[in-house]
Chains A and B, each alone.
Chain A
């Protein structure tokens, strides 16, 4: 099946972005409206495509659109082609739906910013790039969107780049992402050298003939790409700093959509990972490490956005773990991705709402008791909170428990280890999220009288409320009759989940709930019952200190990569001047010494040139004369 409308999904926001950037200050008055309309328009097209899809039989659901031949050299043939199937439509609706809500929110949130138009231009650019990422029909098309969202992310993290630390945060994100992109580049090269194609359909078709070694290599490289984009271990360090961007950006790009691109990539490449068990295991391990890594950092953060960022890292860890569990896990990884898109975006917008009312304060130690002043924010944030910690019947309960369950049932030590990690993560999640809620909304007020907390305007709370509905209902809808699993089946070719191999679903749910309650209880005891100091106490254990320093991720990177790189650069600059150019100058001096009459003044240069030409000409004539004799 083909569709002629796919390109407009991307074209609308791209056009919006271009118009807003080129129109300049003239568009300041209506720029945000245009940007929102373009995103909304893409959402409408997405809904239309979705309704069309529902009307077709399972095999007929995927549609494609070939625009033109993009790169054609020898057997390297890449079309500018788009493909919308059951997997990508999930993303299209998430990106444009949540995206449009966040556009609406930003109208109010950014209303005092002089550069609001530019902000909307970047948001539109992001939507376009992200849609290209999920709609491209080949790895190379995906790559364009992949780096495109990286660019948009860079521009938005550094939106207030007059502050040097923000500019540095933007650069750090770009560079970390480029390390990941290198993996994607290499994966594409290996795929072409091995399979002779880089289109999804082509790779899928040829993969069965390739050696396991080649597929493992491709898989590992794709994983590297995913760790960069999705802030997974060991390329996770940029995400916390990325909170320098305006909060709507954190909600859309650094929670709901862009950072989940790695999960999309792995799920999209299921045909590679299913045939390369080693690579698949690596995916699961990276996911498990990151879900704990992020959760631990989350417990130590006082900055509300950084706490949520750590939580995002951890939750994506769950998704990656799910995707690393193969056919049994893909659907649940995507399900958690979608439910997370609702509740985390909602909570980030809630955090933005709090900051809006608190004079841009982000330190939770200076919040406290805000539920009275911001009832709607509290309610929507609260629903998101219940969803993320996995209380039934909220969204996270369905999606996260499924991943834990599949992990346990992966078999052997692998299953037990991954399952326990996921279970432990759930307990820590409950702890740090309860801490966030208590520090922000409960307890006594800890802000000074300069702040005047108030509820945000309707343009801000309406998107939060809509996302909260998603936090409540989406898990239930996705699991009812296995709707999402069955929907995705044609793409991820799942095998039936071996339920109850080790632990039955009910057992997992009970276990998880007990641990969640433990986490919640611990946080209540620690933060609700006690006075919260305004400044983080310093007489804490080494573990707390390490957690506060993000488990030393930056210290490690700086010591190992940055310092080494800087030393190498310096050494090379010196080498270039003294040794390589030195040798050249040495030779020049030698020549000079033997013909010093030819130098020093400007006319001397010209004369030396003439001299060389003369020598050359004489040599030439002499040679020819000798030859023709």
Chain B
């Protein structure tokens, strides 16, 4: 099977689907939906097939392809995945069909036709695969920026409320980060020219000898772009607005996948290209991460709107992920990577069910709900389950990743881990307060007639629930893929796990 160009095939499939949808008549929304759903299903199947071919103990990039693209500047179309990228591509291709099915009628309130909506979604899927697969920094940058375009139109064209303003805020924020990263990329290109030949190849760039000061600047260029994307406090304010305005499906892709480009980029680019600068900035970043955890949680508690609340919980969760990455221990970083995957499904569950609640009630204000457990028991259960996943209840997938991050951080930065652990109490509050208000108590006027989940919605959410449950008890399939890559990254950075203190004491 090694002669199959897995990644290119995977990336092209959604694009072909988009092309197909483009030729469908504008009036036939159903055909567009079906075609889009079929495409995402095929891509998901192909993604799983690819994953089975992945050699998990091989730390080299796999499914590698490289073709000269712009030879003048040494830019290649070069793709390949390590364990981390593979997991994130899997996340993308698994979430896509769920989002399409769950948000079957999402396009109806839009500025443009349903056809356009699904073309944008499919293009976005190609971009998501590309951004994780790219091994040429310039190619990565192209995907990183190009990805903004479909999201911009998805928010601005199909969202609700202040959708235009939110879309612009998202775009400008991301572009600003992108420009900083571009500057760093160009500098890397220049330096590579000085040291034996211009290149954008990630592996080659990681062997460059870069002075400490230069590293610091270049690191920051990348890091700020990623911190905006992730988002990390204090670069987070675009996210609640975007999540508020976007359709639930778009929000799932935005928070579930796109934001992971930030944390993925931190590992792939910041850590591997600039080990010295990483050392310099780690303390600051750990502090920012801890602030994100606590700050995001408090802000979530203070929200009165479901969508904004979920957005802030994500800011808290991204704090955990970032803390895990920069703890520079295998537990921290494997936990963080697993967290990226788990958070995708956890947030998907939350956003989708919040979306269903919102579209039924015509409001996303928490205060407009009450007593749903009696009216729509299945929907209430799914929401409760999603909430438990978000507060990392043991037995669910998010617990494994959150605990790994905490324990991995504790071995190197105990204070950060201790403060971060307060996040689990705050999580109980930001989940249980809205659950009580919306599901418990007497049935709120205006909620009596709400309908429970239909078959389509149940089918869409079932795999999410199943994945959250199964990975909670058996995370090995993912950890086995992630662990070797993480160990490799940490070796590049010259880190080994701290030994237990009894061993250090030499007793």
Seen from chain A, the residues whose Cβ lies within 8 Å of a Cβ on chain B are: 68-76, 80, 140, 143-144, 146-148, 151, 158, 161-164, 167-168, 170-171, 174-175, 178-179, 181-182, 185-186, 188-190, 192-197, 206, 209-211, 214, 565, 568-570, 572-573, 576, 580-581, 584, 588, 591, 602, 605, 608-609, 612-613, 616, 619-620, 623-624, 627-628
Contact = CB atoms under 8 A, between A and B. Distances in A.
B403 interface: yes
A144 B395 contact: yes
29 contacts: A72-B476, A73-B334, A73-B335, A74-B330, A76-B407, A144-B394, A146-B394, A147-B393, A162-B441, A164-B440, A164-B441, A174-B432, A175-B425, A178-B427, A188-B407, A189-B407, A189-B421, A193-B411, A194-B501, A211-B501, A569-B301, A580-B234, A581-B237, A584-B173, A584-B238, A602-B156, A605-B168, A612-B172, A619-B182
Nearest to B417: A189
Nearest to A588: B172
A70 B473 contact: yes
Q: Main SS of the interface on chain A? A: helix
Interface of B: 72-73, 145, 149, 152, 156, 164, 167-169, 171-173, 175, 178-179, 182, 186, 189-190, 193, 198, 234, 236-238, 295, 298-299, 301-303, 329-331, 334-335, 371, 373-374, 388, 393-395, 399-400, 403-404, 406-408, 410-411, 414, 417-418, 421-422, 424-425, 427-429, 432-433, 436, 439-442, 473-476, 479, 483, 487, 497-503, 505, 507
A247 B381 CA distance: 24
Contacts of A148: 394-395
Contacts, number: 204
A623 B186 contact: yes
A182 B388 contact: no
- Give me the 6 closest cross-chain CB pairs, A-B, nearest first: A196-B500, A74-B330, A167-B440, A189-B410, A581-B237, A161-B440
A151 B403 CA distance: 18
A568 B164 contact: no
B331 A209 contact: no
A315 to B, nearest CB: 27
Contacts of A214: 501
Given A70-B474, A608-B172, 4 more contacts: A158-B440, A174-B428, A576-B299, A613-B145
A579 to B, nearest CB: 9
A195 B473 contact: no
B150 to A, nearest CB: 12
Contact of B403 (A185, A190, A605, A627): A185
Contacts of A584: 169, 173, 237-238
Contacts of A623: 186
Nearest to A582: B237
Given A162-B440, A189-B417, A570 B302 contact: yes
B404 A573 contact: no
Contacts of A162: 371, 373-374, 440-442
Contacts of A190: 410
B179 to A, nearest CB: 6
A193 B500 contact: yes
A616 B180 CA distance: 10
A196 B503 contact: yes
A576 B298 CA distance: 11
Given A147-B394, A164-B441, A209-B507, A192 B479 contact: no
A76 B497 CA distance: 10
Contacts of A161: 373, 436, 439-441
A568 B408 CA distance: 29
A73 B479 contact: yes
A74 B299 contact: no
Contacts of B500: 75, 192-197, 206
A193 B298 contact: no
Contacts of A179: 425
Contact of A71 (B421, B475, B497, B505): B475
Contact of A602 (B164, B179, B406): B164
A175 B429 contact: yes
**Residue of A69, A167, A181, A210 most packed against chain B (CB within 10 A):** A167
Contacts of B427: 178
A588 B238 CA distance: 12
B328 to A, nearest CB: 12
A68 B473 CA distance: 10
Nearest to B427: A178
Contacts of B507: 209
B189 A182 contact: no
Contact of B499 (A196, A572, A591, A609): A196
B371 to A, nearest CB: 6
Given A162-B441, A602-B156, A572 B501 contact: no
